[in-house]
Structure 1
Amino acid sequence: MSAPTDVHPARGRERGGVRVAVQKLGTALSNMVLPNIAAFIAWGLITALFIEVGWIVLIGKAFGYEGGYGFVEHLGGWGAGADGTGIVGPMITYLLPILIGYTGGRMMYDDNLRGGVVGAIATMGAITGADVPMFLGAMVMGPLGGWSMKKLDALWADRIRPGFEMLVNNFSAGIWGMLLAILGFVVAGPFVAAFSRVAGDVVDFLVENSLLPLTSIFVEPAKVLFLNNAINHGIFTPLGTAQADATGKSILFLIEANPGPGLGLLLAFAVFGTGVARASAPGAALIQFVGGIHEIYFPYVLMKPRLILALIAGGMTGVATNLVFDSGLRAPAAPGSIIAVIIQAPVSSLLGVILSVVLSALVTFLVAAALLRLGKDEDGDLAGATASMETMKGKRSSVAGTLTGGGAATATATRPIRSIVFACDAGMGSSAMGASVLRRRIKAAGREDVTVVNKAISSLTDDADLVVTHRDLAERARQRTPSAVHVSVDDFMASPRYDEIVDLVTQDGAEPAPSPTVPADAQPGSQDRPAPSGNLLAKEAIVLSGRARTREEAITEAGELLVASGAVPPEYVEAMHERERSVSTHMGNLLAIPHGTNEAKGLITRTAISVVRYPQRLDWGGGKETEFVIGIAGAGDDHLEVLQRVAEVFLDEEQTARLRAATTAEEVQEVLGGVSV
């Protein structure tokens, strides 16, 4: 089936750009809220214990105590024993927003205390400018205070006379903090109050018309795309806190944080799943439900995307249950653990909250079980889905090792890392590209004494400190190099695992050692290799608008260009397909580099490379979009220089854009560094 003719290559990038932007916003919001979760818990516990309908009074009445509750009333700010406002009100009005504002200001000023102080001052202005909990105002005024103070300090940096630094710093921060507090009082406070009233009216409308469960249609998919922080800490936490301040509880705290849907999904995999997914699901369920780390179930959904329907059904069930029982939490449940959920549930809501978790888990389990049984003949790729999750998240996951059976590389390192081998089946394509990318990153980290070479797995010897392979080749590599640290990747161009390797290399605590001797069969950096010779990339081997619509057709198209150039016989194309069936040649960053197996090297008469561009993009399997396909026939080592150049190009957005905009074969050759010689 041909691809739709209206596919625009920029649209996917725009959608991805929006998602990344929202993820960054969510990360910023969570970085302000999460360090202060202990304060939210403290406020929630004080509220649960000392308000008029709190645990102490209810337990006392249950045992027939009819005496006074003077101290409890004093702390809770209610009844005859109250003196002033108690402790509950001031904590939510002043303490929590000021902590958020301070954290946001310090975050924006490179963890500088001055940024935090000015952020807190600015937040105080917003707090006093309105009569609603000023969490949204704190999330704006705090970072604004820190960022603006940083810019102001930069104006007179290194211009202050010695001995006057403290005077200038204190007065500049005080004056600027005063101005921002006034701005917060006049502008931010009233604006946030108006926004909170409108948002509250929207929530009330949804609740009154029983429409709130529909939010799960958006929330559950957004969680899997790592937009949960923006939704939870940017919307539900501020609105829920205001609602809890007014009514004693809020249903909004359980829309995103309910651990029931994730538990139901993982239990379904534990019963009806297969392979690694089934074996890892029970442990993942414990981490998710008790530990509150919801991201551990995201790869299971990415592996079988239709399961998002089960999560939506479970999420809607949980919200509907809380609506029916008029239940909610006093404060955010963070992390989303069943322990945090129960602790933050007021007595009157305890039954409804527990039922919302149990019923949402049950509904998710039943729907997921049906979907898993419908697709029971399909193979799941949990390791690949986990790698996709980490790529989507933009950093490695703290719980990924539970799913893939391997932890961080640092867990098995027993000696300093001096030599790294990037291994693949043939040792000429994927490994060369990955080694080039990793070599640059380690060099940028200041460890030029660490060698990064690429080899075929069949050439591995057990003398490397660390071995990097595609996840599908990891077991073969371990058999040949049992004493090495092993790291498996899925995205060769921008794998989050590279951060793990760089950390391991730079934090081993050892002094740099002289570079070891590089084995003759390894491929060192470009500085040690002669320039490529021969017509590696002819103009005739460049196609700017490929005809293929599938991965298999694309491999054939790239291979036929190599055949037409006289570099390989037609049999080599089948070897390229065989290589793809064993291990994917998708590199990440919209690039695939199909090439033959190691056994097919004997078919190559001369080294050559072909380039095919697919403006409409292809699905290389597993939803991996591909725009550029580079076919490789490497008889010796001279193609490795080109692959290093290719890696550099596809890590550079500007250079990739030039390839995307090229209208002639000569332009492609120019971008790739003049490889046709």
Structure 2
Amino acid sequence: MKNAVQRFGKFLSSMVMPNIGAFIAWGFITALFIEKGWLPNAQLATLNGPMLNYLLPVLIAFQGGKLIGGDRGGVMGAIATIGVIVGAPDYPMLMGAMVMGPLAGFVIKKFDQAMDGRMPAGFEMLINNFSIGIFGMLLAIVGYYAIGPFMSAVLIVLKGGVQVLVNHNLLPLAAIFIEPAKVLFLNNAINHGIFTPIGIEQAAEAGKSIMYMLEANPGPGLGLLLAYWAFSKDKATKDSAPGAIIIHFFGGIHEIYFPYILMNPLVIVGPIAGNICAILFYSITKAGLVGPSAPGSIIAFMSMSPKTSIAITALGVLIAAAVSFLVSSPIVKMAGSKSLEDAQKKTSDMKAESKGQAAEVLSGADVKTDNIKKIVFACDAGMGSSAMGATKFRNRIKPLNLGITVTNTSVDNVPADADVVVCQYILQDRAVKSAPQARLVAIGNFLQDPNLDTFYAELEGRANATSAPAPAVEAEPEVKEEKKAKKAVLKKEGIKTGLKSVDKETAIRAAGQLLCDLGFANEDYIQAMVDRENMVSTYMGMGVAIPHGTSNAKETVKKSGIVVMQYPEGVDFGDEKAYLVIGIAGVGDEHLEILGNIVASLEDEELLETLKKNADVDTIMKTFG
């Protein structure tokens, strides 16, 4: 249940967070130019309404539709949400956009799935455009007559509920739910999914709203971190607190203090007490902000304050910090020397859950493997590192007879049936976005990595525990001899041995230039190889690097080709040395057979040492080609 709530909350916030810049722009226009603003300007103040009523809901709907149905879903969401906006003219339809955007994305996604493989040739563009137009129109009508009025009723109920809390002086008690929810990474969902829509309605009437102050106040977290800085008995925790204070208070990244609470859950009473006192103070003084504070830094918080109450806004932050500090301090003193490192790992795991990902980053943890049928190795371009990694791991698990398919692809195009995705750490976020259903194994390099060894050990345990069918390992493509000759991807002219050691970029550019000289790519591909290296290292382990271009550079590849550069003294790739620098330009899967041969040669340590330092052109050609 908790995970479901987290995923729902994260999905709500994921529609808003990419559009925070638009909220900030609208907030500044409101704070500066309305009648009670810092620089009142009647003409510029007219920007407020269209941005609030049209721009923000449409942006949210586009993002929600895109999350479900890609770019087509985004366009559908924007069209349909206009119906919601017009159907509920009395209220800003941010919440309506959060409903209509994903709904529209779902509709077009299902249509695209139904039409997959069934479109008549030559009618693709016509069908794609008319489907968005027709379904968008229909959903806009539904939005006008149903969703818009319904969401208006929801807002009336929520607004009434808030008013009841205010009338009975109970609003400060909301902090009892807000602070624990924040630690569960529901902070953005609460702030932008619930409080902001209500706050917008209140601000439209009164020029400000206390709803903007409930979650975003940086005072409670500041007091907690100050208590750890002053009284923690764990040196690492104590030393980390000042940096966390800066990031939290000035950067507005509240997540930075969540591990400090998870380290000692009882300490959460400090931020709760601090926020209760601040909300009570703001309620008594009739305080409010003119727009949402995003992110929740003191800079954003104060910039959204009306000029007539800036001192009150600042005092509320100080009250929250002081109370949180006073309540948290004795708890921190009694806590002993609990490790912040363990709490940070727990926080990382919770954040992964809050993103709605079934993916796991393996670092020695026990992971169920019973249902794994397909493992996908993913890199940026899907042509080099992932191909070698997949080949090596495929060969490694083949004797286990688990019936698992191992393949490779670009990190942005992981197939929907992937059960496990293996990628480098820096590509984790893209992998999760591409395949949210899959488990994630994050690694340093594709040939030698402890996380891969851990994952293999788990598969080996599964093999020992059950009798499995013969492997459904993806077969290497069969290529006729005459086709091989016609499409030779490795030529003797593309092998250079005994080269003097150079720096990494020079080696990569030399490999790229040789690919160009042999007609495999044009000159633009060289820079793409350097860009790829700057993004993610192409060092594979075992003294081998395979530089290649980014996924955006595929149009610069003329035909598949590989060049092999041997540096007996090595080329520094970060902390490792590469003795074989293998440049790749790939079209489709034509280069994969040679990569398979390269991987096979790595299994023979004696041969590998010869290839890296002493082999001549003929030996390398015979081994790889």
Task: Judge same fold: TM > 0.5, yes or no.
Answer: yes
- Residue 394 (1) aligns with residue 340 (2): no
Q: Aligned residue for 2:274? A: 314
Q: Indicate the SS of the match to 1:158.
A: coil
Shift, 1:165, TM fit:
1.6
Q: Aligned residue for 1:385? A: 343
Output one character per residue of 1:418-476: Cα deviation in whole Å (capped at 9) or x when no partner: xx9x8xxxxxxxx6x75998xx99964352437999xxxxxxxxxxxxxxxxxxxxxxx
**Matches of 1:451 and 1:302 in 2, distance apart?**
40
* Distance change >3 Å, CA 201–CA 523, structure 1 → 2: closer
- Residue 182 (1) aligns with residue 141 (2): yes
Which amino acid is 1:325 matched to?
T
Q: Aligned residue for 1:300? A: 260
Shift, 1:136, TM fit:
0.7
**Contact 1:102-1:115 within 8 A present in 2 as well:** yes
Q: Indicate the SS of the match to 2:61.
A: helix
Q: Aligned residue for 1:19? A: 2
Aligned pairs for 1:177-216 (under 5 A) are 177-216=136-175
**Contact 2:23-2:292 within 8 A present in 1 as well:** yes
**Contact 2:198-2:211 within 8 A present in 1 as well:** yes
**Matches of 1:452 and 1:352 in 2, distance apart?**
67
Pairing partner for 2:29 from 46, 52, 57: 46
Q: Aligned residue for 1:253? A: 212
Pairing partner for 1:502 from 439, 442, 465: 442
Q: Aligned residue for 1:96? A: 56
Q: Indicate the SS of the match to 2:5.
A: helix
Q: Aligned residue for 2:43? A: 74
Output one character per residue of 1:89-108: Cα deviation in whole Å (capped at 9) or x when no partner: 11111111111111111111
* Aligned CA-pair RMSD: 3.5
Q: Aligned residue for 1:150? A: 109
Pairing partner for 1:117 from 61, 71, 75: 75
* Distance change >3 Å, CA 224–CA 175, structure 1 → 2: same
**Matches of 1:26 and 1:160 in 2, distance apart?**
37
Q: Aligned residue for 1:108? A: 68
Pairing partner for 2:228 from 260, 266, 269: 269
Q: Aligned residue for 1:224? A: 183
**Matches of 1:391 and 1:315 in 2, distance apart?**
26
Which amino acid is 1:290 matched to?
F
Shift, 1:499, TM fit:
8.6
* Distance change >3 Å, CA 441–CA 368, structure 1 → 2: farther
Which amino acid is 1:200 matched to?
K
Shift, 1:284, TM fit:
0.8
**Contact 2:84-2:140 within 8 A present in 1 as well:** yes
* Distance change >3 Å, CA 396–CA 157, structure 1 → 2: closer
Shift, 1:532, TM fit:
7.0
* Distance change >3 Å, CA 204–CA 166, structure 1 → 2: same
Aligned pairs for 1:485-524 (under 5 A) are 502=442, 504-505=444-445
Pairing partner for 1:340 from 300, 304, 320: 300
**Matches of 1:165 and 1:47 in 2, distance apart?**
45
**Contact 2:6-2:353 within 8 A present in 1 as well:** no
**Matches of 1:452 and 1:305 in 2, distance apart?**
47
Shift, 1:363, TM fit:
0.5
**Contact 2:366-2:458 within 8 A present in 1 as well:** no
**Matches of 1:121 and 1:523 in 2, distance apart?**
45
Output one character per residue of 1:595-643: Cα deviation in whole Å (capped at 9) or x when no partner: xxxxxxxxxxxxxxxxxxxxxxxxxxxxxxxxxxxxxxxxxxxxxxxxx
Shift, 1:134, TM fit:
0.3
**Contact 2:172-2:279 within 8 A present in 1 as well:** yes
**Matches of 2:148 and 2:182 in 1, distance apart?**
30
Which amino acid is 2:14 matched to?
N
Shift, 1:156, TM fit:
1.9
**Matches of 2:274 and 2:256 in 1, distance apart?**
17
Shift, 1:527, TM fit:
8.5
**Matches of 1:134 and 1:530 in 2, distance apart?**
51
Query: For structure 2, which runs of at least 5 residues remain unmatched after alignment?
Result: 356-360, 378-385, 397-424, 426-437, 466-625
**Contact 1:240-1:250 within 8 A present in 2 as well:** yes
Q: Aligned residue for 2:484? A: none
Shift, 1:267, TM fit:
0.3
- Residue 171 (1) aligns with residue 130 (2): yes
Q: Aligned residue for 1:34? A: 17
Q: Indicate the SS of the match to 1:53.
A: coil
Shift, 1:259, TM fit:
0.6
Which amino acid is 2:154 matched to?
F
Aligned pairs for 1:424-573 (under 5 A) are 444-445=376-377, 447-448=389-390, 449=392, 502=442, 504-505=444-445, 525=457
Pairing partner for 1:362 from 299, 322, 327: 322
**Matches of 2:158 and 2:455 in 1, distance apart?**
60
**Contact 1:452-1:524 within 8 A present in 2 as well:** no
Q: Indicate the SS of the match to 1:201.
A: helix
TM-score (norm 1): 0.55
Shift, 1:190, TM fit:
0.8
* Distance change >3 Å, CA 523–CA 502, structure 1 → 2: closer
Output one character per residue of 1:354-404: Cα deviation in whole Å (capped at 9) or x when no partner: 11111100100011112223x15x23121111111222222699xxxxxxx
Q: Aligned residue for 1:582? A: none
**Contact 1:442-1:502 within 8 A present in 2 as well:** no
- Residue 291 (1) aligns with residue 251 (2): yes
**Contact 2:185-2:354 within 8 A present in 1 as well:** no
Aligned pairs for 1:398-409 (under 5 A) are none
